Amino acid sequence: MSGELDSSIFSSHIICRETIDSTNDLAKRLAAEGAAEGTLILAEEQTGGKGRRGRTWHSPSGANLLFSVLLRPAVQADRVFALTMILVLGAMEAVRRQSGLSLNIKWPNDLYAGMKKLGGILTEFSARGREVDWVVLGLGLNVTWYPEELRAQATSILAETGITVSRNRLLVETLRIFEGYYREILAGNLDPFHRMWNEACFILGKEVFIDSEKERLAGKALRIDPDGALVLETREGAVRKIVAGDVSLRLKG
């Protein structure tokens, strides 16, 4: 596999594990020890796979794509979401090329096939002041398996298309596309990705509920700003910016 990533920033530090607690957690430990940009951690299975908001991410051994990458971008913290955006876009494009399946995005970090979740990204980072020190992006993509008890809400590439795509090809393609986009982001070219993201985000124009620890808001999702905030028009007519952080979003009805 590393041969196919030759000359990529992801080719020199690749860690593949049969079982791991969480690829994100190992990436964070390595980041704290000074690991290089581009460190890539892959696992067949996680014993403590994590989703957003303290949720668990379960996937049986060998069924799906589970990986994390460590980046050390010279950007400020308000650009971290752009990295989540381009990994979502890279994975979407890789899935389309490998299986023909068109996905869309549910803010802030989910990949959907129709109304069912097919994957998600967990972004964790550390900053000194406003400067980013490291970012870990972890992707879980349902290639052949999804939780049966969640069949109304979750799916896999296999379930959607009948095709068992190569996880290796999917990984290499995702990282290749991501890396091209990453170079653009580092050069300050966020606009095209921001536009693509808004176009693929199926919640826009819809009535949604946003739940946080503090409050529940209802309103219409207007757009996603470049820093990743959702702009919502509340029922009272106010326009609010919602930061992805610890909120959950549900479509109304």
Site residues (vs ligand BTN, CB under 6 A): 22-24, 46, 49-52, 55, 57, 66, 68, 110, 120-122, 138-140
C-beta of 6 vs 148, nearer to ligand BTN: 148
DSSP state of 190: -
Terminal alpha carbon distance of the chain: 45
C-beta of 27 vs 229, nearer to ligand BTN: 27
CB 158 within 8 A of CB 53: no
**In angstroms, what is the C-alpha Rg of the chain?**
18
DSSP string, 64-117: SEEEEEEE--S-BGGGHHHHHHHHHHHHHHHHHHHH----EEETTTEEEETTEE
DSSP state of 201: B
Q: Which residue is nearest to ligand BTN (CB)?
A: 120
C-beta of 40 vs 121, nearer to ligand BTN: 121
C-beta of 132 vs 139, nearer to ligand BTN: 139
Cα 59 to Cα 23: distance, rounded to the nearest angstrom: 13
> How near is the Cβ of 187 to ligand BTN at its closest, in Å?
27
One-letter amino acid at 141 equals: L
> How near is the Cβ of 229 to ligand BTN at its closest, in Å?
18
Give the CA dihedral 88, 173, 65, 164, nearest 10 degrees. Answer: 120
Beta bridge partners of 42: 16, 67
> How near is the Cβ of 150 to ligand BTN at its closest, in Å?
12
> How near is the Cβ of 20 to ligand BTN at its closest, in Å?
8
> How near is the Cβ of 233 to ligand BTN at its closest, in Å?
26
C-beta of 73 vs 138, nearer to ligand BTN: 138
C-beta of 56 vs 234, nearer to ligand BTN: 56
> How near is the Cβ of 137 to ligand BTN at its closest, in Å?
9
Beta bridge partners of 233: 220, 239
